[in-house]
Amino acid sequence: MKHKTVVFVIFLVAVLSAAAQNVRVVSNEALTSKTDGYFCCPQMDKPGNQLFFTGSGYRGLYQYDLMTGKMSRITDAPGAGYEPALTEDGSGVVYRTYRLKDGRRFYSIINSNMRTNEKTVLQSERRALSVPRVFRNGTIAYTLHSQIEKDTRFASRKNEKDAQEQTAVFIENQKIALFVNGEKRFLKPRGEGSYIWPELSPSGKRLLFKKLGDGCYISDLDGQILSYLGNINAPHWSPDGKHIVYMADIDDGQQITASEIHIINADGSHDVQLTATEDKIELYPRWGNDSNTIIYNTEKGQIYLMRLEWK
């Protein structure tokens, strides 16, 4: 892999008025090049030392060391890059993969320890198996045949009660399935329809989601709408729960033709455009380990890291 190229870009929209929260883009760093391959959907671990991202079609899972610039492949398994879950301490990544049998997918969940390189199979070749979630104490949660399962093999015993009180959210048949203390209930905050991108706030008290054909909202855990964010895509909470990052994309009905990265307050106020480029299409942004860092990929499959400054 080539040495990473650091590109410092001060966008036209970087210096913003007081009404737009006085945030500016300090730098925009290309971590991978086009010759490295196509990568997308990056995540940063909580310590802020590693990035994890996937390849085309969510095939494979890769680790990028931010200290050394070294990239390594964790697995080449199909589907492994679709919503993998990172442990709180940065020691592991939990992912779902699949194998085709007679044209049907049979899913498995794997825990990969990044310190020992040991892989542990948590569930093997099941039909109705969701993507995993990881609680703060290391408990791994997923749904099997619509029932929540918890694996505590890698959990810290000091926080067992914390794991029991954790809330997890999944999508089942395009509906929001919320598990609280092991009990499941379906939420339809905007009535019947198809829901995507559900995500609990860092405090676990609010729910971010989008309803197709309607828009993106934040509700409480009873489904009471708290704010409307607009018809935005790929939304993600900031670590402090104050902001949402998203992509403002345009498509021609078949593919995305343009996209810029925005942030908006969780109450729906002060939308701020962070990028303004004609030569790149910025996609699937996420916050890093703090509210000063955003990571994303371009349509060419390059991974970028953006630094912000708040005043």
The pLDDT of residue 277: 92
Q: Is residue 130 part of a domain?
A: yes
The pLDDT of residue 165: 60
Structure tokens belonging to residue 245: 């990052």
| Nearest by Cα to 247 from 230, 260, 236 | 260
pLDDT band at 253 (very low <50, low <70, confident <90, very high): confident
Q: Exposed, middle or buried, 102 (CB in 10 Å: 0-12/13-18/19+)?
A: exposed
Check: CB of residue 37 under 8 Å from CB of residue 44: no
pLDDT in tens, 201-247: 999 999 999 999 999 999 999 999 999 999 999 999 999 999 999 99
Q: Is residue 117 part of a domain?
A: yes
Mean pLDDT of the chain: 90
Least confident of 187-191, 250-254, 299-303: 250-254
Asked whether the predicted pLDDT for residue 265 surpasses 50, the reply is yes
The pLDDT of residue 7: 36
Total domain count, the chain: 1
- Outline where 160-232 has alpha helix (H): 160-164
**CA dihedral (92, 285, 175, 169) positive or negative:** positive
Cα distance from N-terminal residue to C-terminal residue, the chain: 37
pLDDT in tens, 267-293: 999 999 999 998 999 999 999 999 999
Nearest-Å Rg of the Cα atoms of the chain is 19
pLDDT top residue among 11 and 57: 57
Domain span at 89: 52-165
Task: Return the SS3 of 16.
Answer: coil
Asked whether the predicted pLDDT for residue 296 surpasses 80, the reply is yes
Residue by residue, DSSP assigns 249-272 as EEE-SSSEEEEEEEEEETTS---E
Task: Return the SS3 of 274.
Answer: coil
> What is the average per-residue pLDDT within 29-56?
96
Least confident of 18-32, 67-81, 131-145: 18-32
Share of the chain above pLDDT 70, in %: 90
pLDDT band at 90 (very low <50, low <70, confident <90, very high): confident
Separation of alpha carbons 184 and 181, rounded Å: 9
Q: Is residue 209 part of a domain?
A: no
Asked whether the predicted pLDDT for residue 102 surpasses 70, the reply is yes
Separation of alpha carbons 82 and 255, rounded Å: 20
The pLDDT of residue 162: 56
The pLDDT of residue 20: 46
Q: Is residue 132 part of a domain?
A: yes
pLDDT in tens, 158-201: 555 554 467 999 999 999 999 988 789 999 999 999 999 999 99
Asked whether the predicted pLDDT for residue 10 surpasses 50, the reply is no
